[in-house]
Amino acid sequence: MQSVAATREANAGNGLTERQGVVLEEALRLLVDGGEKALTTAGVARAANCSKESLYKWFGDRDGLLSAMIGFQASKVRTQDVAASALDAESLSRHLVVFAKDLLEVLSGDVSLALNRLAIGQASREGSKLGHMLQERGRRQIGRRAAALLEAGRKAGLLAFDDADEAYGALYGLVVSDWHLKMLLGEEAGEMKKGFGRKAEQAVSAFLTLYGKKV
């Protein structure tokens, strides 16, 4: 995720130069370390060894910088699709557990938490532009991966549901419960991560109880 290759790809996808990518990386680090309050234009310029003038030239204003940060980070996250072939009950369960663990890992990541906090903090005013962006470019991605997995399960006769969104909502809720909110509120994520594996398996087991086709 943090590799130079991923960064370069993200730049290309957003029409950013490499230098600008480095600056955004540094801005994200500042945001993760100190929250929105630490994300000042002067601070970013100092940390990235660039001038404030360049920041305004590249990103317009502070909000433009925030948007660029979200877009930049989102374009670094690539979700590989699962081969829809050869699904049996056991492999479906395994895929679901992997998905659940990935979901928990993503949601508990430093940068994800920081960006969500940022967007939530700005949600009151300004029509929640950042919130929509985060929703669209972040959650939609992982939602599509889940939808594909669920659809494959149904096609293979292993899952039974009418509304895919409803089924996904149940899966998401069983996996995440209120952990995301707790982490957003500042609960130490370090100690929670140990329980992710067990939590993911329990959630998938419950999900299959609800939506798995009886055998």
Partner DNA sequence: CCAATTCAGTACCGTACGGTACGGTTCGCA
Partner DNA sequence: TGCGAACCGTACCGTACGGTACTGAATTGG
Nearer to DNA, 15 or 190 (CB): 15
Q: Any idea which residue has 């997995």 for tokens?
A: 149
Considering only 56, 67, 147, 192, the residue that binds DNA (CB under 7 A) is 56
134 binds a copy of itself (CB under 8 A): yes
From 154, 179, 181, 178, select the one nearest 166 (Cα to Cα): 154
175 binds a copy of itself (CB under 8 A): yes
Task: Return d(Cα 47, Cα 60) in angstroms, integer.
Answer: 19
Distances (CA, A) of 82 to 63, 100, 102, 155, 165: 36, 14, 13, 14, 19
To the nearest whole angstrom, how small is the minimum distance from the Cβ of residue 176 to a copy of itself? 6
CA 144 distance to own-chain centroid: 12
Which residues lie near a copy of itself (CB under 8 A)?
34-38, 114, 116-117, 119-125, 127-128, 131-132, 134-135, 139, 166, 169-170, 172-178, 180-182, 184-187, 202-203, 206, 209-210
Which residues lie near DNA (CB under 7 A)?
17, 19, 37, 39-42, 45, 49-54, 56-57, 61-63
